[in-house]
Amino acid sequence: MAESIDIRELNERIEKQSTFVTNLMTGMDQAIIGQKHLVESLLIGLLSDGHILLEGVPGLAKTKAIRTLAALIDAKFSRIQFTPDLLPADVVGTMVYNQKESSFEVKKGPVFANFVLADEINRAPAKVQSALLEAMQERQVTLSTTTYELPKPFLVLATQNPIEQEGTYPLPEAQVDRFMMKVVIDYPKLDEEKRIIRQNISPEQTIIRPVMGTAEIDAARKVVSQVYLDEKIEQYIADIVFATRFPDKYGLKDLVGLIGFGGSPRASINLALASRAYAFIKHRGYVIPEDVRAVAHDVLRHRIGLTYEAEASNVTQEEIVSKIINKVEVP
């Protein structure tokens, strides 16, 4: 009984403290028509301190979405266009010799921002990708002998184009694991498309004004960490991730020859964090199984390796994750 009262009190408190989410959503809706899933994913990444990999054809408002979010939070935004001739120094920065002072000076790269858009990340070679992914993981950059902390919050939104593979360098599986979520974006609906046309041919441009500061994001993250995650939900998350590694133990023998490797412990951690943030976005102080199911595809799709047999049979990670969450027992 005491526990239920605590949960009720926590739920009321989180409902009050999550009101800023509505302001952010309203601000995003002013600039982005449709793409609700993209907006929710950005907020989950922001509240969980996790990075996001976006996959979608050009023109689906990927750049506009993160630029709008940065404007709403009054944060520093930078965009890096990844190209085959890009160097690690173009991303993280370098030491520049100052002739006047006869000494080396630090020139920080565009990665020193709160929101970094890595546009078409798979167009740059592995060493450039590694430089960015190291900054994402360590939240710091070392130039010469000095280590510099990256600003807080620090969110990387990397995009890749699924339709053009010529002249690209696919991200290694181990490095893709650094992204909390891989979000696949689809075309808008017909009525949304008409509203997009209307908005973009209108002479009146939408002005985005900040609704909160970066300090408030830090405070919000502390509140998100208080969202109640029951032991049964923890077990449910562990079962889903274990089913990607040992499908036969969960009655999924048809997946045994299709999965090359399953999710790492980072998958379990990120699934728990994303579920918490999703519950917070829904103004709830506790995680329910539907929260886990809502984020499972985004958290797991890039963490499951397919065998040649799966690729030959045109089986996708989407189908595998769907089969797992439909089979694993819900608490």
Span 114-143, average pLDDT: 87
The mean pLDDT value of the chain amounts to: 87
Does 74 have pLDDT greater than 50? yes
Structure confidence by residue, pLDDT tens digits, 148-167: 999 988 999 888 887 666 66
Does 299 have pLDDT greater than 90? yes
The H-or-E segment that residue 259 falls in is strand 259-261
| C-alpha span between 150 and 117 (Å, rounded) | 15
**The predicted structure's pLDDT at residue 181:** 94
Better pLDDT: 108 or 175: 108
| C-alpha span between 8 and 13 (Å, rounded) | 9
Task: Work out the pLDDT band at 269, boundaries 50, 70, 90.
Answer: very high
Looking at the chain, which residues constitute the CATH 3.40.50.300 domain(s)?
14-217
Task: Work out the pLDDT band at 267, boundaries 50, 70, 90.
Answer: very high
CA Rg value for the chain = 21
**The predicted structure's pLDDT at residue 120:** 87
Span 237-242, average pLDDT: 95
Does 131 have pLDDT greater than 90? no
What are the beta bridge partners of residue 140?
Answer: 149
Tokens (6 digits) for 239? 């079962």
What does the DSSP assignment read for 282-317?
TT-SB--HHHHHHHHHHHHTTT-EEPHHHHHTT--H
What does the DSSP assignment read for 85-113?
T--HHHHHEEEEEETTTTEEEEEE-TTSS
Q: What percent of the chain has pLDDT over 70?
A: 97
Does 180 have pLDDT greater than 50? yes
Strands 103-108 and 93-98: antiparallel
Better pLDDT: 293 or 201: 293
Does 292 have pLDDT greater than 90? yes
Strands 259-261 and 305-306: antiparallel
Tokens (6 digits) for 262? 């399953």
Flag the least confident range among 112-116, 211-215, 263-267: 211-215
The CA distances from residue 201 to 196, 227, 235, in Å, are: 9, 43, 51
Question: pTM to 2 decimals?
Answer: 0.88
Does 4 have pLDDT greater than 70? no
CB neighbour list of residue 139: distance below 8 Å, 6 or more residues apart: 149, 150, 154
**The predicted structure's pLDDT at residue 246:** 92
Does 5 have pLDDT greater than 60? no
**The predicted structure's pLDDT at residue 167:** 66
Task: Work out the pLDDT band at 252, boundaries 50, 70, 90.
Answer: confident
The H-or-E segment that residue 117 falls in is strand 115-119
Strands 77-81 and 181-184: unpaired
Angle between helices 265-281 and 214-224 (to 10 degrees): 110
What are the beta bridge partners of residue 59?
Answer: none
Task: Work out the pLDDT band at 125, boundaries 50, 70, 90.
Answer: confident
Flag the least confident range among 64-78, 221-235, 314-328: 64-78
Task: Work out the pLDDT band at 10, boundaries 50, 70, 90.
Answer: confident
Flag the least confident range among 5-19, 29-43, 124-138: 5-19
Looking at the chain, which residues constitute the CATH 1.10.8.80 domain(s)?
227-327
The CATH classification number of 14-217 equals: 3.40.50.300
| C-alpha span between 219 and 40 (Å, rounded) | 19
Span 228-233, average pLDDT: 92
Task: Work out the pLDDT band at 111, boundaries 50, 70, 90.
Answer: very high
Closest residue by Cα to residue 158 from 116, 192, 200? 116
Query: Contact 27/72 with Cβ under 8 angstroms?
Result: yes
| CATH superfamily of domain region 227-327 | Magnesium chelatase subunit I, C-Terminal domain (1.10.8.80)
Does 208 have pLDDT greater than 90? no
| C-alpha span between 297 and 210 (Å, rounded) | 31
